[in-house]
Structure 1
Amino acid sequence: MTLSIKPAAIRKSLRIKAGRQKAFDIFTTGMGRWWPPSHSLLQAPRADVVMEPQAGGRWYERAVDGSECNWGRVVSWEPPGRVLLAWQLTGEWRFDPGFETALEILFLAESDAVTRIEVEHRDIEKFGEAEAAARRSLDSDGGWTGVLRAFAALAEQAA
């Protein structure tokens, strides 16, 4: 018998001084306010990042000129505790509707004023030949670590 071991997901966790509903709202409907502008696939400056608030909704960025770039789709929408996204950006950072990794974000109340955010980016092996480079990028200060720091700064300021 051959056992197949799936590569580890990228996991990040942080605590913020904000209530669970506020953290969920800022993460999901306020993404354009905190997602780093340098993490854009648009040709024109970004106006917003949109996550449509329902399963099956689009997840995309919109430029000031009205152009858009899809990032993926909402798989599960469970406010204020969980959102599951299909990340449909390839290792070349291009949208591909036939490509998909899973991005799960949990919002866990530690008290009325403190929320732990747990992010798990799964299926990294689907990047194929770009897996190692994608893993290094996503698991770096310039990847999920820095992105979540930007989120935490805005969420705590707004709390």
Structure 2
Amino acid sequence: MTHSAMTVVRREVVVNAPIERAFAVFTERFGDVKPREHNLLQVPIVETVFEPRVGGHIYDRGADGSECRWARILAFEPPNRVVFSWDIGPTWQIETDLDLTSEVEVTFVAETPARTRVELEHRHLDRHGPGWESVRDGVDNDAGWPLYLDRYRSIFELGRGLAPPAVRGSR
């Protein structure tokens, strides 16, 4: 295994949705994708917010109003790709030195007008410094990106990702 292969985690999933909807569900409903038990706050998470713009953040808001900003939006190109930082270090705490963070690129590829392949690449894991392998192992195991993508896919399988949130449930 090459050094670069060891510092990158790649996963993909296919969803039965047009590319625009696949992108929107990932970014607008990221709180349904990220398990609430993945929590760096001292209190339960009440919501995970994905700010849809370059310079925005992904953050968790706690029951007491506290926030944990654990990612920065580096690229936002609907409906094709989004890139965000991973500001969580090897000790599973927020990393404030931006030189010691990795990045996640999520690319959306239309396979048909109603089917989209979502490719996730978590790269530059070695930037986390000593112990970076624990970040790689954490995001690559069943409770990491595979879990997130399974939860994402289930939104579509259960029919909850078909209509925009404002339309869902109306007649």
**Aligned CA distance change for structure 1 residues 130 and 8 (closer, same or farther; 3 Å):** closer
Quote how far apart the aligned CAs of 1:24 are. 0.9
In structure 2, the partner of 1:44 is 43
Which residue identity is paired with 1:107? F
SS of residue in 1 equivalent to 2:40: coil
Map 1:124-143 to 2 at 5 A. 124-143=125-144
Quote how far apart the aligned CAs of 1:97 are. 2.6
Q: Is the 8 Å Cα contact of residues 59 and 71 (structure 1) preserved in structure 2?
A: yes
In 1: Cα distance, 2:17 partner to 2:28 partner: 16
Q: How many equivalent residue pairs? A: 156
State the TM-score, normalized to the length of structure 2.
0.84
SS of residue in 1 equivalent to 2:131: helix
Q: Do residues 109 (structure 1) and 107 (structure 2) align?
A: no
In 1: Cα distance, 2:33 partner to 2:62 partner: 15
Quote how far apart the aligned CAs of 1:42 are. 1.7
1:108-129 CA-partner distances (Å, limit 9, x unpaired): 1111211100000001112222
Quote how far apart the aligned CAs of 1:5 are. 5.1
Map 1:91-106 to 2 at 5 A. 91-98=90-97, 99-106=100-107
In structure 2, the partner of 1:118 is 119
Structure 2 segments unaligned to the other structure (5+ residues): 163-171
Which residue identity is paired with 1:62? R
Quote how far apart the aligned CAs of 1:92 are. 1.2
State the TM-score, normalized to the length of structure 1.
0.90
Which residue identity is paired with 1:117? V
Q: Is the 8 Å Cα contact of residues 22 and 155 (structure 1) preserved in structure 2?
A: no
Quote how far apart the aligned CAs of 1:132 are. 2.2
Map 1:4-153 to 2 at 5 A. 6=4, 7-98=6-97, 99-153=100-154
